[in-house]
Structure 1
């Protein structure tokens, strides 16, 4: 079973320009992501970037990288561009976020295992139990509801489900909520199809790309993790990551 990890890495960022090259205690963020991904059950780990500086940096530390168009509207489109350039075949492609330098190899492997079966899923992603009210009501941490077989029914920035008979302050006492971890896996043929889909009404309403796939009839299988990750979007997140590293 061949699984390829592709890490989309843009230079432009509204809140943190040059984010992949930010120094985190002697290593760039993208170097740390690559190092973590290489510990997973992947045959290759490739950085897909739109910037020559990131390309040169990744190749400089011995990583594999390809230069993609700067016009891609999403990381999914950038990953499809990179995969086509590789001129190889794979059973699944893992989309590893380029701003999560502490991604756990076990989280990547949880998705890879979903594809190592006679009928692999079309798409897959990770979910994690919500642990407090701050997570539950944060619009920055999308929530997900699933069917009995573990397929995603819907993603929302609002807590789902709404508990009509309970005070919102007590919702966590009466339901096991799940939040979405933005690690995706695709069958290559499905990746080719979803990159041709136009933006959907639900996607535009919630600003969540995966709703486009659900709205067009694709199924997203989920794997559950208890492991936490630290995403980096702002200078404050960089400081938080540095504190985490100092504590190790």
Structure 2
């Protein structure tokens, strides 16, 4: 039986950092107010003071950069199929016991502590295997295939079990904008890595479908804001303006 999460759980935040990217070349090295994006993300995570922060990368450049900024970084296999595989390798290398593993995307330079607190609280429910977050879906995002949508019926506490994930929807009924940050129990991450890719995962290019298709329970919490990800040059420009305007 899986126990409830401890009042002060042992947490490790692992940031999978692949150098190559499709839509924005080497985006993790792009500078935001003179600081490379991957460093922005890692330093922001360290400021949360909720657990150990480690970058897992396939790149000597990112490894060197992290060392310069005194960020813990581990060089991983270059041939991983997904960020979750990289997170798993890092967890196996550090060989420590943690209550929760948080998979934080390296292209999310703006996030707040409450996002992680809400996700951690999800694990007080013993049935939860994986935790993640959602926010309201904007009208302009409905037809945008780059925005992942999560279908969920929320309770009065703004939480609920994921029903489906997709990129394209006909009507916005019980769909929300999915925020790509995950928390796993270590045993669940170990099991997930052993599963074969499912048809839905391959067709939708959504790794979380492997968990849903194998009946793992993904609990989602709705938060009040959307931490913007950087996928394109336009996204990067927006983020740079936000940093400049707010003097981060």
- TM-score of the pair, normalised by structure 2: 0.89
Give the gaps of 5 or more residues in structure 2: 1-8
Mean CA deviation greater in 75-84 or 21-30: 21-30
TM-score (norm 1): 0.89
1:127 aligns with 2:125: no
Residue in 1 that maps onto 2:243: 245
Q: CA deviation at 1:16?
A: 2.4
Corresponding residue to 2:33 among 13, 25, 42: 25
Shift of 1:205: 1.8
1:21-100 alignment runs, 5 A limit: 21-100=29-108
Match of 1:203 in 2: 201
For 1:5, what is the secondary structure of its paired residue?
A: strand
Q: Using a 3 Å threshold, how does the CA distance of structure 1 residues 32 and 120 change in structure 2: closer, same or farther?
A: farther
Q: Distance in 1 between matches of 2:22 and 2:178?
A: 23
List gaps (5 residues or longer) in structure 1. Answer: 164-170
Deviation (angstroms), 1:58 = 0.7
Q: Report the RMSD for the aligned CA atoms in angstroms.
A: 1.7
Secondary structure class of the residue paired with 1:66: strand
Which of the residues 121, 126, 137 maps onto 2:143? 137
What is the alpha-carbon distance in structure 1 between the residues aligned to residue 119 and residue 219 of structure 2? 9
Alignment deviations for residues 170-210 of structure 1 (CA, whole Å, 9 cap, x no partner): x5xxx553121111111111101111111101111211110
How many residues get paired?
Answer: 234
How far, CA to CA, are the matches of 1:226 and 1:243 in structure 2?
21
Quote how far apart the aligned CAs of 1:99 are: 0.6
Aligned-pair distance for 1:109?
2.0
